Copies of this chain bind each other. A is one copy, B any other.
Amino acid sequence: MDITTTIEDVANLAGVSIKTVSRVVNMEPNVRPATRERVQDAIRELGYQPNPSARGLASKRSYLVGLFYDDLMAESTYIVNVQRGVLTRCRKEGYELLIHPFNYHQNGINGLAEEITANIIKSRIDGVILTPPLSDLSIAIETLKRLDKPQIRLSPGHHESGSPCVYSDDRIAARLMTEHLIQLGHKRIAFIAGHSGHLAIVHRQTGFIDAMTAAGLNIDNASVSQGSNTFESGVKCAREILSHERAPTAIFASTDEMAAGVMSVAHQLGYSIPGDLSVAGYDNSQIAHQVWPALTTIAQPVNEMAEIATGLLIDQLRGGKKSISQVAMQSELVLRDSTGPAPC
């Protein structure tokens, strides 16, 4: 129970050398089952916890993983869930998590490389989990490679880079959502794109276009407007979209925040949702439950993806199987009350 119990105490109690204790602790082979048992008993009895600093010094590992994300995303449901998933896995595997938000919009893209380098050198991180939009910046990927830091990316789609990655295909999911709207009879559907620095947004837009094209529906200039992921930008876009003479009967916003902005405007303008206008979002954020009616959206299994990614990273750190480098996960269409049949 004492925090100052050392490997030597355990060795003495078990009547073996410290190296044998080390073997047991690290689950190394070549320990006789009986010995292993004896050591484990001693560990339990003394409540021994290996000293991470000593370990780190001797083995040149820190048992720390870093979560790198865009500070602008810090408040998003996405990042919070990633944190949760990563933490869950870290605890299981005996790793700790260091969170590192980045502010690369001020210093530009080169500043980012420097900032990453500084962070890696200063912190003793063993490996990095990269989240969007950082995970889609080759400068980030390459910088970490140059520093020889194991990394795993969470990404909105398949990627050629060959760097290990857990992804869900946003293009397919966006297509799914659009098809849902089309099935409800909507013909004039508007899409609100988001921050173009996010690859996810690009994929979602492509998925929208895929579905529209496949259904033979018209995509004119007015069909796609440019937001920036935020509620406010959703408001702005909606004002514009709904001011047109032949306004769409459905709006698919590429983030839930923007969709919430759309709904707010729609209510103000007297639209009934989904009677007059269907609204769909993407991400299954908290806000999707906090609007009325509840928002139809796409849910990625963020928690699970983060857990899996962390697992893969730790495998990599343990020098194990580098084979599995790309894992695909399925997003889900969550039908709620903000979408309904097109008005006649």
Contact = CB atoms under 8 A, between A and B. Distances in A.
A179 interface: no
A51 B97 CA distance: 18
A53 to B, nearest CB: 3
B74 A80 contact: yes
A178 B121 CA distance: 51
Contact of A292 (B47, B51, B101, B264): B264
A291 interface: yes
A205 to B, nearest CB: 23
Contacts of A324: none
Contacts of A97: 98-99
A338 B201 CA distance: 33
Interface stretch (A54-62, A165-173, A207-215): A54-62
Nearest to A59: B53
Copies in the complex: 2
A289 to B, nearest CB: 7
A82 to B, nearest CB: 11
Given A53-B124, A267-B292, A98 B96 contact: yes
Contacts of A121: 3, 47, 49
A218 interface: no
A122 B49 contact: yes
Contact of A53 (B53, B71, B96, B231): B53
Interface string A115-138: 000000111100000000000000
A286 interface: yes
A84 interface: yes
Chain A binding surface SS class: helix
Interface string A270-306: 0000000000000000110111100000000000000
A261 B80 CA distance: 22
Given A97-B99, A123-B96, A286 B75 contact: yes
Interface string A62-96: 10100000010011010010011001000000101
A342 B344 CA distance: 42
Given A53-B56, A74-B83, A99 B99 contact: yes
A268 B337 CA distance: 14
A84 B74 contact: yes
A261 B47 CA distance: 48
A52 interface: yes
Contacts of A53: 52-57, 62, 124
Given A80-B80, A287-B290, 11 more contacts: A49-B122, A51-B124, A53-B56, A53-B62, A53-B124, A54-B57, A87-B101, A94-B122, A99-B99, A267-B267, A287-B287
10 contacts: A47-B121, A51-B57, A53-B53, A53-B55, A53-B57, A74-B84, A75-B77, A84-B101, A96-B123, A260-B290
Interface of A: 3, 47, 49, 51-57, 62, 64, 71, 74-75, 77, 80, 83-84, 87, 94, 96-99, 101, 121-124, 147, 231-232, 257, 260-261, 264, 267-268, 286-287, 289-292
